[in-house]
Chains A and B, each alone.
Chain A
Amino acid sequence: MTMHETRKAPPKGVPFRPRGRSRVRGLTVVRAVAGMAVFALLLFAWELAGRHDTTGLLPPFSDVAAEMAAILTGERLTTDVLPSVLRALLGFALGSVIGMTAGVVLGWWRRLDPWLRPPVEFLRAVPTPALVPIAVVAFGAGNALRVWVIALGACWPVLLNTMDGLRRVEPGYIDSARVYTSGRTTAVLGRAALPAALPQITSGLRIGLALSLILMVISEMIASSSGLGYLILQSQRLYALTPMYAGVLILACTGWLLTLLFSAAERRALVWFEGMKGRNHA
């Protein structure tokens, strides 16, 4: 007996690939080139403005780029740039773990909600930079301080999105998971609820990553002796404007690179989500 469906079935044995890749590829290239062109134009404008600048406030782009290269190849790479990136990543990782753990507890065991919601709402309202002086007292002005400040700031979006994501999981998935795991809570949570909530958890992580970079800079501008934030602030105090701009540029590149990496990982993990959306909107 053959079973032919009346609706269109995907061709035999062809697994899923994100739709429309090749059709859209040409367009993507055009867009990328257009974006680069505008970017180059802006840099060129900067270069021109810098060269004709008489106030000494704006060094030309070429100087800043050369300074940036010098920093990235010199010893400041290991004393400032890498430590900064490491702190941001560590803080982000720590904050993500804290956020996800708390988010799971709050989102999954709803009976805890009345007890835990008020303190959570209150703590969330505290702007993280305001915690820096307290953290200095608690951890001293070292790496631990900075990592913890980043973690405490980055954990909120992760926490809230994990909690919300878990609460919105389609009840049908939970029912299925309960049937096919005989109701084991950890299995239902780990194999159904968390994967189902992953798209939302990921948006939390993305915001957390951006916050981590912001908090990294802020934390390095206080009681610090190394890092990109320190480099920028110190250059400004010494009126060394070229290194200052170079620091900002390195920061921008770092943020851009990390976001790019994150997006790539996200795309891989959420192929199903994008595909499903595409199908529903088709």
Chain B
Amino acid sequence: MPEAIKGRQHDRQATGPAAATLLEARNIAKCFSHPNGTVTPAIGDIALSLAKGEFVAIVGPSGCGKTTLLRCLCGLLKPDSGTLSYAGKPVSDVPEDVAVVFQEYNRSLFPWLSVRRNVEFGLNKLSKTERRARAEEALTRVHLTDVIEHYPWQLSGGMQQRVAIARAVATQPNLLLMDEPFASVDAQTRIRLETMTASISTELGLATLLITHDIDEAVFLADRVIVLSPRPSSVLAEVVVDIPRPRTELEVKAMPRFQEYRRLIHDLIVAKQSDTPDVVDTPAPDGTEPERSP
């Protein structure tokens, strides 16, 4: 293990209910108003908390507001209501030690920078040699040292996603937010990336919040799975995944317990989808301004 991260070795035992809370969201709600006057309620009412070093997965159907929730949690988007605190302080802008891997990797890596410089982007405060070392260390983790001088758009989707993960890891964050980071890769690459993510977050003691719509992935990776309802989303259930680590794909997926968790979560989502009518967007009362991104 590289020298830089040894000191931050983390003990998974600390992630009991008594462990220190890192991120806490209470009664978060967010609506989008469209120029034509309709209002889309994206997040109904969500409360969640994340302890230091904990790995939490959020699952929910497509379009239920997962990306919106993530943008709220890291301070990119201001929720309409609710309170949000990170490390005990209210969140206004993106906190220093939070890193994000976005859903659309090809729109989040900078095409004018080489892979190396993309990974170094968040390390501006360090000296040049330190930056280089950190970037190389992070790229080694994701097995990308051979394309270090390439541009991101020269790489395949899975490689770009790994660059995005390296960029996040290089900043040595305390909280890592990932938005469906493995959605666009083939099954084999996906399993490798999942395993890699699990080991990175264990080694570095990262609190990780993984958004996904893949139930298997959630159960395989997380200490706790938060299940969201369809839009406007709220927390349907929280499932604590009691499977020891380190977990290996084949072993875990063969466990009866894994299958039980899967079915439980699956049933929660399906039951909810069938017994609630589709939410209809409501016309905006007059005078509401359409939402604009930043």
Contact = CB atoms under 8 A, between A and B. Distances in A.
A176 B158 CA distance: 18
B112 A179 contact: no
A173 interface: yes
B194 to A, nearest CB: 13
Given A9-B159, A170-B107, A272-B111, A175 B189 contact: no
Contact of B122 (A10, A13, A180): A180
Interface in A166-187: 170-183, 187
Interface string B144-186: 1011011101111111001000010001000000000000001
Interface string B268-294: 000000000000000000000000111
A192 B109 CA distance: 10
Given A6-B186, A173-B110, A279-B153, A178 B294 contact: yes
Contact of A182 (B94, B108, B143, B154): B94
Contacts of B157: 7
A178 B189 contact: no
Query: How would you classify the secondary structure of chain A's contact residues: helix, strand, loop or mixed?
Result: helix
Contacts, number: 115
Given A5-B158, A272-B111, A10 B147 contact: yes
B76 A179 contact: yes
A181 B124 contact: yes
Interface in B83-111: 93-96, 98-100, 102, 104, 107-111
Nearest to B142: A3
B159 A5 contact: yes
A147 B192 CA distance: 62
Given A10-B150, A174-B294, A183-B94, A5 B189 contact: yes
Contacts of A177: 121
Interface residues of B, number: 49
Nearest to B192: A3
* Number of chain A interface residues as a range: 35 or more
B75 interface: yes
B74 interface: yes
Interface string A168-210: 0011111111111111000100011001101000000000000
Contacts of B151: 16, 272, 275-276
A188 to B, nearest CB: 9
Given A1-B192, A9-B159, A179-B99, A191 B121 contact: yes
B150 A5 contact: no
Interface string B37-62: 00000000000000000000000000
A15 interface: yes
A261 B271 CA distance: 66
A176 B74 contact: no
B121 A180 contact: yes
B95 to A, nearest CB: 7
B98 to A, nearest CB: 7
Contacts of A174: 293-294
Contacts of B144: 3
A176 B109 CA distance: 8
A8 interface: yes
A239 interface: no
Contact of B100 (A171, A179, A279): A179
Interface of B: 71, 74-76, 93-96, 98-100, 102, 104, 107-114, 121-122, 124, 142-144, 146-147, 149-151, 153-159, 162, 167, 171, 186, 188-189, 192, 292-294
Interface of A: 1-3, 5-10, 12-13, 15-16, 110, 170-183, 187, 191-192, 195-196, 198, 272-273, 275-276, 279-280
